[in-house]
Amino acid sequence: MVKLRARCLLLGDAAVGKTALSHMFHNDGTLFQKNYSMTAGVELLMKCVNIPETSDSVELYLIDSAGKQTLVEACEKMWGELSMLCLVFDLTSEQSFVNCSYWMERVRAHCQGLHIPGILVGNKSDLTARREVQASVAQEWAQSRGMEYHETSAKEKENCDALLLSLAQTFHSLYQERRSAIQNLSPG
């Protein structure tokens, strides 16, 4: 049995639904916040996820950071040492998808060479008529960066669990990989 801990940053443009998603994670989808209140700083939520078919679990410390450009610099000071990235865009906004590259670069610079595993999330999948980003395009973008891609609707509570599980499993696999590498080390 292993209990892993990961500091996971939720990042993406303003109003793509990062806070809505993180609240869904936190209250297991019982409440979708209908009024919009922009996150001005950083919010921290903890969620424990069990890895199926094992007795292992991952405690995710989710950091919901403001996506508004003018606030990013101040928020970055509170990101800390990150373990994972959950990059979110709005399926009805092409621009929010294009900006994912910018956010990736920002995180890469922040982490100074340490590889940060992550997943890509297209949110607001319930707004089918207004969709601007095709699944195949997003999928390809994610794949080329070694990330898994998921589509969710925080409003319809669609796929939120799958998202959490994917985050936890990504970190769990990284741990297993590192552990077997250490087992095969030669003595100093």
Partner 1 sequence: MIDPPLSSLGAKVVVVTSGDEEHPPENIIDGDSRTFWMSTGMFPQEFIICFAESTKVSAVTVDSYNVKHLKIEKNTSRYASQFESVTEKEFEHTDGHLQSNSISLNGSSATHLRFIITSGYDHFVSVHRVSVPQLPS
Binding site for partner 1 (CB under 8 A): 1-7, 58, 61, 81, 83, 114, 171, 174-175, 178-179, 182, 185-188
Number of neighbouring beta carbons within 10 Å of residue 4? 18
Q: What are phi and psi of 30, to 5 degrees?
A: -90, -20
The least distance separating partner 1 from the CB of residue 115, rounded to whole angstroms, comes to 8
Planar angle of CA 154, 128, 72, nearest 5 degrees = 50
The residue (of 152 and 170) whose beta carbon lies closer to partner 1 is 170
The least distance separating partner 1 from the CB of residue 12, rounded to whole angstroms, comes to 22
User: What is the SS3 assignment for 153?
Assistant: strand
The least distance separating partner 1 from the CB of residue 28, rounded to whole angstroms, comes to 23
The residue (of 32 and 61) whose beta carbon lies closer to partner 1 is 61
User: What is the SS3 assignment for 47?
Assistant: strand
C-alpha 13: how far from its chain's center? 13
The residue (of 20 and 107) whose beta carbon lies closer to partner 1 is 107
The residue (of 145 and 179) whose beta carbon lies closer to partner 1 is 179
The residue (of 56 and 126) whose beta carbon lies closer to partner 1 is 56
The residue (of 82 and 138) whose beta carbon lies closer to partner 1 is 82
- Rounded to whole angstroms, how far apart are CA atoms 84 and 178? 15
The least distance separating partner 1 from the CB of residue 1, rounded to whole angstroms, comes to 5
Task: Evaluate the CA torsion angle 80, 86, 92, 94 in order and state its sign.
Answer: positive
Can you read off the two tokens belonging to residue 20?
């809505």
Q: Would you say 31 and 161 are in contact if contact means Cβ atoms under 8 Å apart?
A: no
The least distance separating partner 1 from the CB of residue 154, rounded to whole angstroms, comes to 26
Planar angle of CA 161, 162, 168, nearest 5 degrees = 90
The least distance separating partner 1 from the CB of residue 176, rounded to whole angstroms, comes to 10
